[in-house]
């Protein structure tokens, strides 16, 4: 558990101050029960637009809406008392203009009570990040592999293998740092590049498929818990294997219902005498 646990709830300033002092523990959360379970152990909970794929079976995150993010953001906030909570701005809700980004970020913060928003993009989003932070909206930046750009990037793949890619990711990371982001996700980036970025930024880097040298790590909680049988990215470590347990529980339940074993007398309400 984090040494910050005696505080009421961590803030974006708390996360920023962990740079060079303590590794940031981050997981995704989409529902109240999971948020309650993860909250005591995490510094940062991310209501990621990954919920589109994890909860709704979408192929990518592109179809996620602002309404979906607001609903799940509210759900997660009901389950936290310790962690800082950040909600993703979904695809199309911030790229048009910095004013659009501000309106939608404010909506998410007002409707959910979250501590800030996350958006994807480097140099091209620096002006927007500066605009938001100057107006009281903390921004969690995201560089490297950007899932919202999957349609133009040609799919999900690691980046930084060529010098051109490496230079771009470094420039993106420096730009969002200078623009005022309180932390930066570095995703799907070859280890040496992610290590160099971490050393060069003033704010924490949160790695996912990046480097152990990052200032913190994030995983999709359902990946970490082993709730998927069919897909395991290289960068995921399963800290539990819940999928077979859920399947076995459902099988046992079905067998007991069909045999009449469940419900037993102790599971029913009897007339009071």
Q: Is 221 annotated as a binding residue?
A: no
Q: Is 93 annotated as a binding residue?
A: no
Strand duo 84-88 + 44-47: pairing:
parallel
C-alpha distances in angstroms, 116 versus 43, 46, 69, 213? 14, 10, 13, 25
Cis peptide before 8 (omega within 30 of 0): no
Question: Cα separation of 203 and 16, whole Å?
Answer: 6
Query: Exposed, middle or buried by CB within 10 Å (0-12, 13-18, 19+), for 87?
Result: buried
Question: Cα separation of 12 and 39, whole Å?
Answer: 15
Q: Would you say 19 and 211 are in contact if contact means Cβ atoms under 8 Å apart? A: no
Question: Cα separation of 229 and 16, whole Å?
Answer: 36
In the set 96, 123, 124, 187, the catalytic residue is 187
Q: Is 241 annotated as a binding residue?
A: no
Q: Which residues lie across from 218 on neighbouring strands? A: 26
Strand duo 205-208 + 183-187: pairing:
parallel
Question: Cα separation of 79 and 32, whole Å?
Answer: 5
DSSP 271: P
Q: DSSP states of 164-211 as a string? A: HHHHHHHHHHHHHHHHT-SEEEEESB-HHHHHHHHHH-SS-EEEESS-
Assign 114 to helix, strand or coil.
Answer: coil
Q: Is 127 annotated as a binding residue?
A: no
Active site residue 187: yes
Q: Is 196 annotated as a binding residue?
A: no
Residues catalogued as catalytic: 187
Residue numbers in the known binding site for Mg(2+) are 49, 88, 120
Which residue positions form the known binding site?
Answer: 49-50, 88, 118, 120
Q: Which residues carry a binding-site annotation for 3-methyl-2-oxobutanoate?
A: 49-50, 88, 118
């Amino acid at each position: 558990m984090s040494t910050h646990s005696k505080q009421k709830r961590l803030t974006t300033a708390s996360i920023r101050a962990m740079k060079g002092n303590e590794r940031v523990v981050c997981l995704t959360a989409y529902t109240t029960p999971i948020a309650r379970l993860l909250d005591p152990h995490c510094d940062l909970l991310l209501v990621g637009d990954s919920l589109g794929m994890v909860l709704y079976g979408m192929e990518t995150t592109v179809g996620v809406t602002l309404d979906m993010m607001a609903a799940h953001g509210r759900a997660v906030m009901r389950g936290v008392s310790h962690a800082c909570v950040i909600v993703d701005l979904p695809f199309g809700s911030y790229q048009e203009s910095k004013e659009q980004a501000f309106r939608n970020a404010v909506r998410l913060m007002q409707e959910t009570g979250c501590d800030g928003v996350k958006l994807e993009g480097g140099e091209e989003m620096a002006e927007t990040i500066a605009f938001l932070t100057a107006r009281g909206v903390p921004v969690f930046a995201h560089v490297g592999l950007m899932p919202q750009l999957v349609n133009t990037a040609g799919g999900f793949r690691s980046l930084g293998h060529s010098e051109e890619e490496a230079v771009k990711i470094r420039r993106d990371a420096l730009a969002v740092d200078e623009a005022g982001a309180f932390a930066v996700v570095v995703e799907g980036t070859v280890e040496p590049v992610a290590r160099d970025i971490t050393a060069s930024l003033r704010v924490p880097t949160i790695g996912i498929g990046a480097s152990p040298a990052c200032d913190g790590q994030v995983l999709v909680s359902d990946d970490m818990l082993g709730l998927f049988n069919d897909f395991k990215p290289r960068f995921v470590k399963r800290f539990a294997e819940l999928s077979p347990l859920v399947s076995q529980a459902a099988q046992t339940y079905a067998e007991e219902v069909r045999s009449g074993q469940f419900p037993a007398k102790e599971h029913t309400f009897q007339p009071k005498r």
